[in-house]
Amino acid sequence: MKITITGASGFVGVNLREYLRSTNVVDTMSVRYLPNQSFKIETDAFIHLAGKAHDLKNVSAPKDYYDANFELTKQLFDAFLISEASVFIFMSTVKAVADDLDSMLTEDFTPHPKTHYGIAKYQAEQYLLSKEIPNSKRVYILRPCMVHGPGNKGNLNLLYKIAKNKIPWPLGAFDNQRSFLSIENLCFVIKELLENKSILSGIYHIADDQVLSTNELINLLGNSLGYQSKIWKVHPYLIKSIAKFGDYLKLPLNSERLQKLTGNYTVSNKKILEAIKKPLPVSAKNGLMITFRSFKN
**How confident is the model at residue 131, as a pLDDT?**
97
CATH superfamily of this structure's domain 2-149+180-207+267-281: NAD(P)-binding Rossmann-like Domain (3.40.50.720)
Domain ranges of the chain: 2-149+180-207+267-281
User: Which residues, at least 6 apart from 258, have a Cβ–Cβ distance to it below 8 Å?
Assistant: 171, 239, 240, 243
**How confident is the model at residue 59, as a pLDDT?**
61
Give one DSSP letter per residue of 110-168, joined into a string: PP---SHHHHHHHHHHHHHHHSPPPTT-EEEEEEE-EEE-TT--SHHHHHHHHHHTTPP
Q: Write out the chain's pLDDT in tens, 297 residues.
A: 999 999 999 999 999 999 999 999 999 999 999 999 999 999 999 999 999 987 655 667 999 999 999 999 999 999 999 999 999 999 999 999 999 898 999 999 999 999 999 999 999 999 999 999 999 999 999 999 999 999 887 778 888 988 999 999 999 999 899 999 999 999 999 999 999 999 999 999 999 999 999 999 999 999 999 999 999 999 999 999 999 999 998 887 898 888 888 899 999 999 999 999 999 999 999 999 999 999 987
CA dist 297 and 292 (Å) reads 10
The reported pTM is 0.93
Q: Are the beta carbons of 13 and 53 closer than 8 angstroms?
A: no
